Chains A and B, each alone.
Chain A
Amino acid sequence: QKEVEQDPGPLSVPEGAIVSLNCTYSNSAFQYFMWYRQYSRKGPELLMYTYSSGNKEDGRFTAQVDKSSKYISLFIRDSQPSDSATYLCATYPRGYSTLTFGKGTMLLVSP
C-alpha cells in the first residue's frame, strides 16, 4: 500500500460545478498537507498548505483535513475550464524529511 493514495481520474465536470478531490494516507506521522496543481507540460505549483485538522479557504478553493480518518480533500467551487489540471496531494511529517506525493487526479472542466 502506497503511503498516499489518490484516485487518478480523470474527473470530468461541467463549468460551474463543485469539485471534490480526495486523498487518503496511512502514516499517522504525517502532519503537514499540501495540494499542488500541475498543468500539462508544466511543473507542479503549490495551491494550498495546511497543518491542522479542519478547513482552510482561499478564494474558490477549500482544503480539508481529517487526521482521525487520515483523509484530505480539496474542494473547488464554481469550477472553471482553467482549473483543468492534475491535482497532487502531498504530505510530510513533523521535523520534515521529504514530501510524499499522491499520484495525482486529473480534472477536466468543460465549458
Chain B
Amino acid sequence: KAGVTQTPRYLIKTRGQQVTLSCSPISGHRSVSWYQQTPGQGLQFLFEYFSETQRNKGNFPGRFSGRQFSNSRSEMNVSTLELGDSALYLCASSLAQGGTGELFFGEGSRLTVL
C-alpha cells in the first residue's frame, strides 16, 4: 500500500513569490492535514480537510490556504512568501476526521525562501 506522497520534495523560492504544494493521501483515507515544521516552533497545525471541506484551521495568516479534491488529494498554497515561511511542510492523512490520532505523514516538502 503506497504511503502519503508529497511533491515537490525540495523547492527554493524568493520573497514575494507564491508556492503550491501537493499531497496524495493513502488510498481510502479521506482526511488530510497540513503541518509546518520549523526548528524553533516544532510542528504547527495549518489546516485539515475532509470530504473537500476545511474542517479545522490553525493560527496562520490568510496567505496560507488549501483545498482538497474529490479524490482526496490536497494542495496547499502560500502567497507572498516571507523568509519566515522557510520550513518543512508535512501532509498527513487519516481514515476519517477525528480519528484515533493516528496520522500517516508524508516525507514533507522542504521550502526555502531567499
Q: What residues make up the interface of A, taking CB atoms closer than 8 Å to B?
A: 32, 34, 41-46, 49, 88, 90, 92, 95-104
How far does the Cβ of A5 sit from chain B's closest Cβ, in whole Å? 11
Q: How many residues of B contact A (CB 8 A)?
A: 24
Q: Can you identify 26 A-B contacts, CB atoms within 8 angstroms?
A: A32-B100, A34-B101, A42-B107, A43-B4, A43-B105, A44-B43, A44-B90, A44-B105, A45-B104, A46-B101, A46-B102, A49-B100, A49-B101, A49-B102, A95-B98, A96-B99, A97-B56, A98-B33, A98-B58, A99-B45, A99-B103, A100-B45, A101-B43, A102-B42, A103-B42, A104-B43
Contacts of A88 in B (CB 8 A): 42-43
Beta-carbon contact of B108 and A43 below 8 Å: yes
Q: What residues make up the interface of B, taking CB atoms closer than 8 Å to A?
A: 4, 33, 35, 41-43, 45, 48, 56, 58, 90, 92, 97-108
How far does the Cβ of B35 sit from chain A's closest Cβ, in whole Å? 8
Beta-carbon contact of B108 and A32 below 8 Å: no
Report the nearest A residue to B6, measured CB to CB. A43
Known A32-B101, A43-B4, A92-B101; judge A104-B42 contact (CB<8 A). yes
Beta-carbon contact of A99 and B42 below 8 Å: no
Main secondary structure of the interface of A (DSSP, over half): loop
